[in-house]
Chains A and B, each alone.
Chain A
Amino acid sequence: MSAFETIESPTVPSSTRTEAATSPADARHTPRLVGNASVGIEVRNVVKHFDNFAALDGVSLSVAPGELVALLGPSGSGKTTLLRVIAGLEFPDSGDVLFGGRDALSMTARERRVGFVFQQYALFRHMTVAQNVAFGLDVRPRGARPARAEITERVRLLLERVHLQGLEKRYPQQLSGGQRQRVALARALAIDPSVLLLDEPFGALDAKVRKELRRWLRNLHDELGLATLFVTHDQEEALELADRVVVLNKGLIEQDGSPQKVYDSPATAFVAQFIGDTLTLPVQVTDGQAEVLGARFPAAPGTPEGRAVAYIRPHDVSVQPQGTANGVTAEVISITLSGAVLTLRLGIRGLGELDAIVSRQDVQRFDHEKGSIVTVAATQAYIFSD
């Protein structure tokens, strides 16, 4: 029952909501949930050490109002630390954080009005859903606190917005993971945040719910128009959801660009390896180029001549009948079928083994059984110094 709600509720009404938002007549009836003029986030040269460990080693990035930016990196890369520095839960050793051009470091976490969604949601378990969402309004000083009826109405609107109407009186323990996440989001939005920060927003959810919520979050972000920064270690999530992806590793930014740019032209060996499954092959660079599986590809600028490493995605390995194309000869070692694509494990004399992911149509014309001999070539490769 609850699983059913989780999957159904975010998607079905969201399509109607999108229509409402585009039609000006209806827009008047959609109450504004975020009244603040949205501001951008700017982070300049932020350094943060924990004991002797540099969690952030001079990080600069910006998020424009209305932009959805993913902070992508492996665990321990400093991405959550950066989010916490922006939220005011952690103070940097040096550097600047600006909200709409104003110095945020001189403000306390309370004053920053950051909508922060925690990885484990951090819902108050002794409060109902409605009390959780109302918290940020209830704790305001008497003068700034809205009237009871106003708070109740606002909570109702927020819960409607996250499709949790009817669950006001439930406790967090009685909700599914997806529902909890939406309560956390509604609670963060209740304070009329100037920016929205999400720490691994889908980390604690199962794969199916995750995909549903992604689309829903994207729609919600577009409606709110806030500067939104979310942390993830899931490259697929970052590429699918974000306007811009910032790849972080060991406290440093490896690349900052559109999902396409990050995927198609990784700036560093780390990005090439981190984005998508990657195969590595040793190569020789001469005249700024290297031969990879029978074709020449340019090396990354600044790569010295000589030994280097080529990074190839399994999708960028083409498999042809033997002798029909340029490439190298390989033997099919094993075949794994996964839906529309096949993963062929190929053995190449003198190079070792590598995986190729090919569509079934592409190889149906010729023999690719286990043990057959084929020609393989790389259609794309990224070459970085060793």
Chain B
Amino acid sequence: MAAIDLTAPRRRVFAGPVAHALLIGLAVTLSVLVIGLPVVAVFGMALSSGASVYMAAILQPATLYAIWLTVLTALIVVPINIGFGIAAAWAITRFTFPGKKLMTTLIEIPFSISPIVAGTAYLFLYGAQGLFGPWLAASGIQIMFTVFAIFLVSLFVTSPFVARELITVMQSQGVEDEEAGVSLGASGYMLFWKVTLPNIKWALLYGAVLCNARVMGEFGAVSVVSGSIRGETNTLPLQIELLFQDQNTAGAFAAASTLTVIALITLFIKLWAERRRDSHERL
């Protein structure tokens, strides 16, 4: 019988001390340079002229309005996409119907399409020269270059986040809990609130947080359809760009820092939701 030497160092790929140090060093250096430094730079630049200048830049009416519009967009888009996500995930994981595979693919399209393309597509549909343009104009409805255009493209771009999270979780959980609920006499309404929702709540929160982050940070699609009208259709990312073009560096960085703070808060909620979701799934 061949003896196995248990004391011999176990060789893995790239397990040498040099490779070890090199890989870790590379990862740390790149993280600091590529990710850490820009984040620090945003706050550094924003506060470089002192806190009072920073506050004044944020409290500038156009920037304040941009913050408000960004929050408003999130408040409208995220709930709608939560509703859509639950409905789509429910349909896909709990029923069989013709075209189900197609629908699963369709849901993912906004992920793979460049936001600029999404914006252009909406322009083509609802713009003055667009498909429904003449009809909309005749009815006295303007969609493009209003906040509604912003809501619409944001809906499109962020529609997959909640749905995709829920599809994964609901698929892995299976239907047994719901079947148990039905056999115990629960109505559809009771089943959703007492069985389904508690089972998916952390995945739902996780998806909603990702969706929210994307809504607030979306630039490409929004810039095509909003028209960037100061104080009317300018969201925070558009406002930052505008301030840069105006050579207002302090203002731009101040606005950018608010977006970064939102992003950092999002990140922490995401991490927390992720941990709860994963511990919930383990049984």
Binding site for B on A (CB under 8 A): 87-89, 109-110, 112-116, 118, 120, 122-127, 135-136, 138-141, 172-173, 187-188, 190-191
- Asked if B105 is an interface residue, CB under 8 A from chain A, the answer is no
Contact B176 A122 (CB under 8 A): yes
Provide the bound-state CA to CA distance between A173 and B186, in Å. Answer: 23
- Asked if B113 is an interface residue, CB under 8 A from chain A, the answer is no
Contact B283 A139 (CB under 8 A): no
Chain A neighbourhood of B278, CB < 8 A: none
Most B Cβ at <10 Å: residue of A88, A110, A127: A110
Contact B198 A124 (CB under 8 A): yes
**Known contacts being A139-B194, A173-B283, is A110 close to B187, with CB within 8 Å?**
yes
Instruction: Give me 22 A-to-B residue pairs in the complex whose CB atoms sit less than 8 angstroms apart, sorted by A's number.
Output: A87-B183, A88-B183, A89-B179, A89-B183, A110-B183, A110-B185, A110-B186, A118-B180, A120-B176, A122-B177, A122-B179, A122-B180, A124-B181, A125-B199, A125-B280, A136-B186, A139-B181, A139-B186, A139-B190, A140-B185, A173-B283, A187-B184
Excluding A126-B280, A139-B194, 7 further A-B contacts by CB distance (< 8 Å) are A109-B182, A126-B199, A136-B184, A136-B186, A139-B186, A173-B283, A187-B184
- Asked if B45 is an interface residue, CB under 8 A from chain A, the answer is no
Binding site for A on B (CB under 8 A): 176-177, 179-187, 190, 194-195, 198-199, 280, 283
| Shortest Cβ distance from residue B18 to the other chain A in the assembled complex, whole angstroms | 44
**Known contacts being A118-B176, A172-B283, is A109 close to B183, with CB within 8 Å?**
yes
Q: Using CB atoms, name the residue of chain A closest to B194.
A: A139
Chain B neighbourhood of A188, CB < 8 A: 183-184
Provide the bound-state CA to CA distance between A113 and B184, in Å. Answer: 7
| Shortest Cβ distance from residue A130 to the other chain B in the assembled complex, whole angstroms | 14
Provide the bound-state CA to CA distance between A88 and B183, in Å. Answer: 8
Provide the bound-state CA to CA distance between A125 and B195, in Å. Answer: 9
Q: Using CB atoms, name the residue of chain A closest to B186.
A: A139
| Shortest Cβ distance from residue B144 to the other chain A in the assembled complex, whole angstroms | 46
Contact A191 B184 (CB under 8 A): yes
Provide the bound-state CA to CA distance between A141 and B185, in Å. Answer: 10
Contact A139 B184 (CB under 8 A): yes
Most B Cβ at <10 Å: residue of A113, A122, A125, A141: A122
Contact A125 B194 (CB under 8 A): no
Most B Cβ at <10 Å: residue of A138, A139, A188: A139
| Shortest Cβ distance from residue B250 to the other chain A in the assembled complex, whole angstroms | 49
**Known contacts being A139-B187, A139-B190, A173-B283, is A110 close to B195, with CB within 8 Å?**
no
Q: Using CB atoms, name the residue of chain B closest to A84.
A: B179
Q: Using CB atoms, name the residue of chain A closest to B191.
A: A139
| Shortest Cβ distance from residue B127 to the other chain A in the assembled complex, whole angstroms | 47
**Known contacts being A135-B186, A139-B187, A139-B194, is A125 close to B180, with CB within 8 Å?**
no
Chain B neighbourhood of A138, CB < 8 A: 194
Contact A135 B179 (CB under 8 A): no
Q: Using CB atoms, name the residue of chain A closest to B183.
A: A116
Contact of A136 among B185, B198, B199 (CB under 8 A): B185
| Shortest Cβ distance from residue A122 to the other chain B in the assembled complex, whole angstroms | 4
Chain A neighbourhood of B182, CB < 8 A: 88-89, 109-110
Chain A neighbourhood of B181, CB < 8 A: 124, 135, 139
Contact of A118 among B179, B198, B199, B280 (CB under 8 A): B179
Provide the bound-state CA to CA distance between A116 and B6, in Å. Answer: 51
Provide the bound-state CA to CA distance between A75 and B189, in Å. Answer: 35
Provide the bound-state CA to CA distance between A88 and B179, in Å. Answer: 10
Provide the bound-state CA to CA distance between A303 and B198, in Å. Answer: 59
| Shortest Cβ distance from residue B9 to the other chain A in the assembled complex, whole angstroms | 38
Chain B neighbourhood of A120, CB < 8 A: 176
Provide the bound-state CA to CA distance between A20 and B190, in Å. Answer: 39
Shortest 7 CB-CB distances between A and B: which pairs? A136-B184, A122-B180, A122-B176, A139-B186, A126-B198, A116-B183, A139-B190
Chain A neighbourhood of B187, CB < 8 A: 110, 139, 141
Contact A135 B176 (CB under 8 A): no
Contact A114 B183 (CB under 8 A): yes
| Shortest Cβ distance from residue B17 to the other chain A in the assembled complex, whole angstroms | 42
| Shortest Cβ distance from residue A75 to the other chain B in the assembled complex, whole angstroms | 17
Chain A neighbourhood of B179, CB < 8 A: 89, 109, 116, 118, 122
| Shortest Cβ distance from residue A132 to the other chain B in the assembled complex, whole angstroms | 9
Chain B neighbourhood of A139, CB < 8 A: 181, 184-187, 190, 194
Q: Using CB atoms, name the residue of chain B closest to A108.
A: B182
Chain B neighbourhood of A88, CB < 8 A: 182-183
Contact of B195 among A124, A140, A141, A173 (CB under 8 A): A124
Provide the bound-state CA to CA distance between A141 and B186, in Å. Answer: 9
Q: Using CB atoms, name the residue of chain A closest to B178.
A: A122
Contact of A135 among B184, B199, B280 (CB under 8 A): B184
Provide the bound-state CA to CA distance between A125 and B276, in Å. Answer: 13
Chain A neighbourhood of B199, CB < 8 A: 125-126
| Shortest Cβ distance from residue B208 to the other chain A in the assembled complex, whole angstroms | 19
Contact B185 A125 (CB under 8 A): no
